[in-house]
Amino acid sequence: MSLLRLENITKRFGGLIAVDKVSLEIEAGEVIGIVGPNGSGKTTLFNIISGVYSPDEGNITFEGKDITKLPAHKRAPLGLGRTFQIPRPFSSASVRENVAIGAMFGTLSGQVSVDDSLKIADRYIELVGIETQKNKESGSLTPVEKKLMEIARALAMKPKLLLMDEAMAGMNPKDIDHMVQFIKRIKEEEEIAIVAMVEHIMRAVVGLAERVIVMNFGAKLVDAKTEKALADPRVVEVYLGHPPDESKWKSEIWKKE
């Protein structure tokens, strides 16, 4: 049984088909990269998986349970944790409180006291390396620190499937390498075995993902092992046909280091 299974998922916004009949499976233990040009439906797909949107068509099962109609707050306790492309912290709350919220609403929801949640928060704040900021108002963090806080919060949910939406955008190559090592470590050390991530930064995708799903115009174009997917002529064409945003791609797209 797959951990997550999407069958023929379609999502429309008015006349626009943002996600077009996407089927995919994620197995326990996988790290998957989801790539594709701007507007190809990656974030919408994440929103459907985490329950922010319900699909117009199709089914989603998580550990064999049909969650298609389950709202987001009921999915998080099942083990679906996510970060947001644009971090949305409670700005006046401290970093520590923001991360503790993850513990309270994740798979441990209802089982942990406020004190326990704060202890869990401390652990993940240290793991992502922002402990010096932990008592600051989260609104005062730099964009990169906000991303790290988002990751700490998603990890504090103790998810079975961690969905990361451009968690590394805006980071310099050194920070990206740090993140790649760090995600590998979580994959090994935590019970969080699976990470699905949307990234424009190929350095991160190549460094981490075992399998890559390429989206184009809302549809799944390619779903294959990373090397094979990125060498696929259809994938090359998608990016040549739609020149990527330089600032996002940092011209690292096909470079492997």
Ligand X SMILES: Nc1ncnc2c1ncn2[C@@H]1O[C@H](COP(=O)(O)OP(=O)(O)OP(=O)(O)O)[C@@H](O)[C@H]1O
Provide the binding-site residues for ligand X, judged by CB under 6 A.
Answer: 13, 16, 18, 36, 38-44, 85
Per-residue interface string for the shown chain with Mg ion, residues 57-86, x marking contact by CB under 5 A: ----------------------------x-
The nearest distance, CB 39 to ligand X, in angstroms, is 4
The nearest distance, CB 43 to ligand X, in angstroms, is 3
Give 100 or 154: the residue with its C-beta nearer to ligand X.
Answer: 154
Q: Choose from Mg ion, ligand X, none: what does 236 bind? Cβ within 5-8 Å by kind.
A: none
Q: Choose from Mg ion, ligand X, none: what does 107 bind? Cβ within 5-8 Å by kind.
A: none
CA 19/CA 128 separation, integer angstroms: 32
Give 85 or 109: the residue with its C-beta nearer to Mg ion.
Answer: 85
Give 42 or 75: the residue with its C-beta nearer to Mg ion.
Answer: 42
Q: Does the footprint of Mg ion cover residue 47 (CB under 5 A)?
A: no
The nearest distance, CB 40 to ligand X, in angstroms, is 4
CA 114/CA 128 separation, integer angstroms: 21
Give 41 or 102: the residue with its C-beta nearer to ligand X.
Answer: 41
Hey, CA dihedral for 28, 38, 44, 144, is it positive or negative? positive
Long-range CB pairs of 122-130, under 8 A, 24+ apart, other chains included: 122/96, 124/99, 124/152, 124/153, 124/155, 124/156, 125/95, 125/96, 125/99, 125/149, 125/152, 127/152, 127/155, 127/182, 127/186, 128/152, 128/155, 128/182, 129/178, 130/95
Specify whether the CB–CB gap between 141 and 79 falls below 8 A: no
Q: Choose from ligand X, Mg ion, none: what does 83 bind? Cβ within 5-8 Å by kind.
A: none
Shortest CA distance to 164 belongs to which of 124, 203, 215, 209?
209
Near Mg ion by CB under 5 A: residue from 33, 34, 43, 105: 43
Contact footprint for Mg ion (CB under 5 A)? 42-43, 85
